[in-house]
Amino acid sequence: MKKLKNPKKFAHDLCDWYKTNKRDLPFRHSKDPYHIFVSELMLQQTQIKTMLPYYYRFIEKFPTIKALATAKSETVLKYWEGLGYYSRARYLHESANKIVNEFNGTFPKNLKDIESLKGVGRYTARAIHSIAYNQPSVAVDGNVMRVMSRVLLYDKDIRKTKHMREIETILEPVIIHEDPSVFTQALMELGALICKKTPECEKCPLKDKCFAYKENKQANYPVSSKLKAKTQHNFTTFVIRYNDKYLLRKRPSKGLLANMYEFPQFESPFDDAVKHIATLTQSSIKAINPLTTINHIFTHKVWNMKVYEVVLDEPSTDLVSLNSFPRAISKAHQKIIDVIKEKNLPF
């Protein structure tokens, strides 16, 4: 690993570039830590272009911590619907309640207090602390690790926590030379826009300070271990309907997609799964037809869903209209609703 030369100029050049080239994003127009908190959690596992419509809708519905804290959990999930990784919405809601109950409704300023919020890890806490409160807290995420790995020819596994801490330590005497809020956002932005997997080095304000660029080794960095293979789960999924009404059921209150709604599905072959339909509906079956196959990818697992349309002979009291269902449906099963519309089933 090389040493960073002239930290002051490094910080100055980076921040000058950011002020001219930064993207115009809504959460950058606010120093409200709550708004920054929402944006940071939404951006976990999600690209900005995907996240922005949800951010606008969420902030419009819950403009303040109190508004979020007093909302029903099902309403919060509904306004997160389609963004995925729903634990983030539950963490936001729990954190809002904690802020109201333990911090008198004011977002905490102390770094340890921010870290105490649900769903907030070291990076997120430091990002909020730096961006909202202009504190020299170094926030290191994947983008930052990629940039600094190339700048310093850092050849250690960037997925390991101890190596992220090492980069933090290197950046601590650098961030103090500029406005910390600007520096933190600038380093993230550089990783997002310029120092990508395939970097655009000629546009980079740090190329004269980057050892990977000087030695033409950009493709060798960063070094990262392979992710574990995702586990595969095979489901038989039933779209049970009578005319234009459908059966949805609520998932358990804990675990993956907690409290979300979905079409009934069973991790068993078709012949075994179909035996559950009578219990679910208390109605006789008119027809069962193959509908589609959907593969939905989570962080650590894949759902392989063979989906069947089940047409009932008579109505069931639990059937609902998908068009006006007021509660959140999991993203995996939103894909099924898209297929229902495409195939012009009653809706």
Question: Is the sign of the CA dihedral 193, 195, 198, 202 positive or negative?
Answer: positive
Distance in angstroms (rounded) separating the CA atoms of residues 112 and 109: 9
Distance in angstroms (rounded) separating the CA atoms of residues 229 and 197: 21
Q: What is the CA 219 to chain-centroid distance, rounded?
A: 27
Burial pattern 285-320, b for ≥16 Cβ within 10 A else e, equals: eeeeeebbebebebeeeebebbbbbbbbeeeeeebe
4 DSSP assignment: P
| Residues known to be catalytic | 40
Alpha helices in 24-119 (DSSP H): 33-42, 48-61, 65-69, 73-80, 87-102, 111-115
Reading the block at residue 166, the tokens are: 């090492």
Task: Find where tokens 């990783």 sit.
Answer: 191
- Among residues 236, 238, 258, the alpha carbon closest in space to that of 316 is found at 238
Strand boundaries in the chain, DSSP class E = 231-242, 245-247, 249-250, 261-262, 265-266, 285-297, 301-312, 319-320
